[in-house]
Structure 1
Amino acid sequence: MRAHKITLAALVVAAGLSLTACQNDGDDTAATTDPSSVATTSPSAGGAGSDGSDAASPEASSGGKDTTAGAGTGEQSTSGKCRTDGLKITAIDNFIDGDPQGTVAVEMKNTSGRDCVIAGFAGVDLKTNEGTLSAERKGEPGDPYVLKNGKTIAFSVTYPLNETGGTGVRITNLVVTPPNETKSVTLPWPGKPSLPVTDGSGEPVRVGPIGSAGQGG
């Protein structure tokens, strides 16, 4: 009777071990199946995407680099720099009685038919009977400015007044080169006719940054 019980118990234990082994085999199968299926799918998808042909989805085609780059890049990205040929440049006397120095306002009107970007300093030279005199920069340049088509922006040119009573250095023309350009425009000088003759210790001719003489319409 005791031997029979031991044999029955041994059968129950064996059956339990067999059942556990089957369950473990099932877990191992699942563990090896999932990574295998992922590994098979990933190279296939990646290869089609890099191919760029049939695998590209409509969403990928319509929302690629070009579309993203064109969105939200700011107004300046669609405007090129202002060119000399697209600007109407004029100069007017802006001197006010009582000012310690003379001032000429140089206006640049955008006539290019498109908006353009302008910033920094224009090149300014005065043609005189003693040769060419280049203006020195004064002040800090502002941020790049989008000059709308048909709009005007200006900068100032300041110079010492000739109060010596003599003829001084006669000014004949004003030469303006827009920022980041090499083509110049020569204008009649609209300010006082002469500069004082000095030994180089007097006030120089100065040019302010774009926008320093106000912004016109």
Structure 2
Amino acid sequence: MSSNTAARTARRRTLRVAAAALTAVAGLTLTACSGSDAAGTKAAGGTESGVNAAGVDATGSSAGSGSSADGAGSSGGTQASGATAGSGAKTGTKAEAADKQSGGSRAANGGGAGSGIERCHTSGLKASFATGGDAAPDPDAGGATTTSVVLTNKGSRTCKIGGFPGVDLTSENGGERWSLARSSAKHGSITLGPGDSTDFTINVAMTKEDQGFYQPAWAQITPPNETKSLTIKWPWGTLVDQRAATHPATFVNPIG
């Protein structure tokens, strides 16, 4: 190899080394810039993430309290105060729980005071026909007459009664039953103390005919909302047999 050729080869090697060195430096510079940018991105992202997290907490608290307030008034208020101060939330929650508990007690007491009187049950009542004075139905009234059934509270507690009793008339052997229809009269309720009485009327169509009649022997009285009945003897004469009639003249009126 000539000296010129060796010199040219040495220069090319020197240039390649220098180029490689420049490339490495550029790469390091780019890497450093890239790392700085990445760090900046992470830092910005961290800061942004932190803001978002704080925003979610704050927004979440207010949104939660807002939605709760919209949906459930007082509970939303408790959550809103809880979002403002944790101790306030605990105090408010305890106070709310106490209010609910006392409110429930008041409601229970109020219910007891206002509606705690139970209805009259069959076992606490006595039934009888009113038979004194003008209580007897007029056999000549042609259907426009009534008889009264008296219900007496024989128990030791006050009870409330109102509405339609069930009345079933039965024959002597019980084989022929007549469940009386009810009128369309309105009714309220009556409170009976121990020993107090109330009554209801039965419109009756009396007859003296020896055909087309029905002779009751017993009346079974079922107080309103009860399933057990009281059986009393029928004290009057015969009725027009209208057991199959759509609008019979013998029917029951309500208590109260």
Tell me which of the two structures has the higher relative contact order, counting C-alpha pairs closer than 8 angstroms and 6 or more residues apart: 1
* Residues 34-59 of structure 1, C-alpha deviations (whole Å, 9 max, x = no match): xxxx8776332222343x4xxx59x9
SS of equivalent residue, structure 1 residue 171: coil
1:200 Cα shift?
A: 4.5
Deviates more, 1:176-185 or 1:132-141: 132-141
Q: Quick check: 1:99 aligned with 2:141?
A: yes
More helix by percentage: 2
What is the TM-score of this pair, normalised by structure 1? 0.64
| 1:65 matched residue in structure 2 | 104
Inter-partner Cα distance in structure 2 for 1:86 and 1:79 = 14
Query: AA paired with 1:85?
Result: S
Inter-partner Cα distance in structure 2 for 1:209 and 1:40 = 59
1:63 Cα shift?
A: 4.6
Contact 1:92–1:190 at 8 Å: present in 2 too? no
1:166 Cα shift?
A: 4.9
Inter-partner Cα distance in structure 1 for 2:195 and 2:161 = 14
| 1:195 matched residue in structure 2 | 239
| 1:150 matched residue in structure 2 | 195
| 1:124 matched residue in structure 2 | 167
Contact 1:104–1:190 at 8 Å: present in 2 too? no
What is the TM-score of this pair, normalised by structure 2? 0.55
Which structure 2 residues correspond to residues 35-74 of structure 1 after superposition, within 5 A? 42-50=85-93, 52=94, 56=95, 60=99, 63-71=102-110
1:160 Cα shift?
A: 1.1
Inter-partner Cα distance in structure 1 for 2:83 and 2:241 = 88
* Residues 144-177 of structure 1, C-alpha deviations (whole Å, 9 max, x = no match): 3222222101001122111324593221100100
| 2:19 matched residue in structure 1 | none
Inter-partner Cα distance in structure 1 for 2:179 and 2:252 = 9
SS of equivalent residue, structure 2 residue 216: strand
- Larger radius of gyration, structure 1 or 2? 2
Contact 2:171–2:216 at 8 Å: present in 1 too? yes
| 2:119 matched residue in structure 1 | 81
1:182 Cα shift?
A: 0.1
Inter-partner Cα distance in structure 1 for 2:112 and 2:161 = 15
Aligned length: 167
Question: 5+ unaligned residues in a row in structure 1: which ranges?
Answer: 1-37, 212-217
Identity %: 28
SS of equivalent residue, structure 1 residue 141: coil
| 1:10 matched residue in structure 2 | none
Contact 2:242–2:248 at 8 Å: present in 1 too? no
Contact 1:121–1:141 at 8 Å: present in 2 too? no
Inter-partner Cα distance in structure 2 for 1:198 and 1:149 = 38
* Residues 82-139 of structure 1, C-alpha deviations (whole Å, 9 max, x = no match): 1000111111343354533342211111122111111110000100266100111113
SS of equivalent residue, structure 2 residue 228: coil
CA shift in 2, pair 1:155/1:75, >3 Å = farther
Question: 5+ unaligned residues in a row in structure 2: which ranges?
Answer: 1-80
When the two chains are superposed, the root-mean-square deviation of aligned CA atoms in Å is 3.2
